[in-house]
Structure 1
Amino acid sequence: MHPNTPHSSKGLIRQPALCLWLDVTRSGLAKLRAKDSSFPKPIKDGDSRQAAAYYVVAEVEAWLQSKIAARDKAQTCENEDAKQ
């Protein structure tokens, strides 16, 4: 397991830790969220703009698994097309 990967037993991860886990900057995370509507929405700890943002670890892991599955399916289709 990668050292920056959160433990599955942990329910929430703060935004800075998520950025480390995904190896993106804060602005990179914002771009990812804007570009991909399937990316999990944060849970804000308050109404202010500066309130801490948390993400549900299970939702982020599920999002990653769906991206991996889509990639693998695309590769399988490409390999089948190349055989024909």
Structure 2
Amino acid sequence: MADAATVGVKDDIYGELPVGFIAPRPGRSAREASLLEHCRSRLAAFKVPTAIVVVDAIPRNVNGKIDRDALAALWEQRTGH
């Protein structure tokens, strides 16, 4: 993976859930299901993201930090929540 981030997204039941975002290296691909299985095999259940979204690039703010608001907005756009 070239880059990755996990953000908390709003959830009606739990308040917030973790969602992972992955940007593969150029010329490589990533499957969400296999990435989740990888996480499940190596992390405690409460640390496994609810979902993993494959993106072209992880957005950054002007300071070069991960733009977590942009990732949360991408999730809302994708799911309608």
TM-score (norm 1): 0.28
More helix by share: 1
Larger Rg: 1
TM-score (norm 2): 0.29
